[in-house]
Amino acid sequence: MKKLKLSPVQIIPGSFLLTILIGTILLMLPVSSAAGTWTDPLTALFTATTSVCVTGLVVVDTYAHWSFVGQLFIIILVQIGGLGMITVASMLMVVTKRKFSLTDRMLLQDSFNLNSNSKLLTFLVKVLKGTFLVEGVGTLLYAIKFVPEFGSDRGIWISIFNSISAFCNAGMDVIGPNSMGDYRSDPLVMTVTMLLIVMGGIGFVVWFDVMDRVKEGTKKGFNPIKIWTRLSEHTKLVVSFSFALIFGGMLIILIAEYNNPETIGNMGIGGKLVNSLFESITLRTAGFTTFSQSGLNNGSCLVAYVLMFIGGSPIGTAGGVKTVTMFLLIMNVRSYVRHQDAKVIFNRRVSEDSMRKASAVTFVGVVAVFILTILLSMVNPVPLEDALFEIVSACGTVGLSRGLTPSLNAWGKSLVIIAMYLGRIGPISLVAFFSGNSVDNNKLNYSEGTFYVG
């Protein structure tokens, strides 16, 4: 019997699917619910998917429906989903001192979306140490607020849960019915949450590049400008574009919602600024919110669609098509308009393969959102803007909703589950998952045809 061979791009989506199925079974158990009863399979599947895909959309309240055991299962799934199943499996191999085969290295390389497996294990260890350090610091800072308010046991648990959820850009919490709404005027909780979201979403490669360059600059007495010039082109692009998206989104939301009593209209100027910034950051796949998304004006909704679709940066915990992908797409259009063959960013040429990948990822993402939005509108008679918000949020693994999620019927919930899974593994990865080993058609040469475009 011929042995089935799966490529890394098939194993990675498969590992997420397997984790979701295991999580579903665990969450169905009576021990996982606060009432001590069985949870229906669809609710358990939805919750397991939103946890593993670090989305945050929920059909039942996390703080009320699930017991401590259920919440523990959820946050473990979130941690696995944020780091990736292959990363977690590799961590266990490091702890048990198992040797990594070439296949193991290829899987790990693909799970991090890296171009080389050089020093891959060193990178893995740094990722794990950095993740647990940041989440640990976040827990301690949250505890300053939550322990006095909720007591030691519950306060510590809320701090741990929120820290992991924020860093993994999951957007789930176990605080209470108002979630982060009760803390929109609390500088500590707001600041810690925003920093954790940004740290998780900006990407591990950027972390280590910045730390290495700052360490080097400190030793050699470089000023900040000199340190900036020595950063890699990837880091410069991610930081610059993320900064533009965050503060650009904040400015538009501030202007559009300034007098809106359903969002920030009744806040003071300081509250308006902080909550507009928080909204802009959380729209980049985090999912926490300090006010109802159903109250957003049309202009803010349009900004939300864009920010949720773009998401965070590569090799991090965030979803979306990613900042670098969108910037390369913009560069492609700009270079064509200016009749430039080479695409240059920070004095570095972008490969044609990267440009094609950016176009493919964006196109497939748009098509997935379009099809799923139409289907959701068909099976659930809801306003189009709410259906679009729900699907973009799911595909971008954001977790924000205009109050639609709990009211969805079984078909609607199933579509959102598919959207969340697609958003976590990427639509193109799903195509590769089912494609098997394809024949290389690039070896065939065809004569050039004439096609009229535009």
Q: For the chain of 454 residues, list the mean pLDDT of each consecutive stretch of 10.
A: 54 81 96 95 95 91 94 94 67 58 58 59 82 95 96 95 93 87 92 94 87 90 88 91 94 94 93 95 88 90 93 83 90 82 79 84 90 94 91 92 90 94 73 51 64 66
DSSP character at residue 293: G
Q: Please name the residue ranges forming H helices in 168-312.
A: 187-201, 204-220, 224-229, 233-257, 269-282, 298-310
Q: What is the largest CA-CA distance in the chain?
A: 74
| pLDDT averaged over every residue in the chain | 85
Q: For residue 89, what pLDDT is reported?
A: 56
| 3-state DSSP percent of the chain in helix, strand and coil, to 5 | 70, 0, 30
Q: For residue 342, what pLDDT is reported?
A: 66
Residue 406 backbone phi and psi in degrees, to 5: -65, -25
Q: For residue 430, what pLDDT is reported?
A: 55
Q: For residue 124, what pLDDT is reported?
A: 79
Q: For residue 247, what pLDDT is reported?
A: 95
- The CA-atom distances, in angstroms, between 323 and each of 19, 210, 388 are 27, 18, 21
Q: For residue 1, what pLDDT is reported?
A: 43
Alpha-carbon distance 422 to 370, whole Å? 13
Q: For residue 147, what pLDDT is reported?
A: 96
CB 250 within 8 A of CB 272: no
Q: How many CB atoms lie within 10 A of CB 296?
A: 24
Alpha-carbon distance 17 to 52, whole Å? 9
Length of the chain: 454
HSE-CB for 239 with a 13 A CA cutoff:
15
- The CA-atom distances, in angstroms, between 424 and each of 322, 420, 442 are 12, 6, 29
- The CA-atom distances, in angstroms, between 286 and each of 123, 170, 184, 319 are 24, 6, 16, 9
The pLDDT tens digits for 84-102 are 755 665 665 555 556 655 5
Q: Which region holds residue 333: left if phi is over 0, alpha if psi is between -120 and 50, else beta?
A: alpha
DSSP character at residue 441: G
- Which residues are CB-contacts of 216 (< 8 A; sequence separation ≥ 6)? 222, 227, 230
What is the token pair recorded at 345?
């960013």
What is the token pair recorded at 352?
């044609």
- Which residues are CB-contacts of 148 (< 8 A; sequence separation ≥ 6)? 155
Angle in degrees, CA 345, 130, 180, rounded to 5: 90
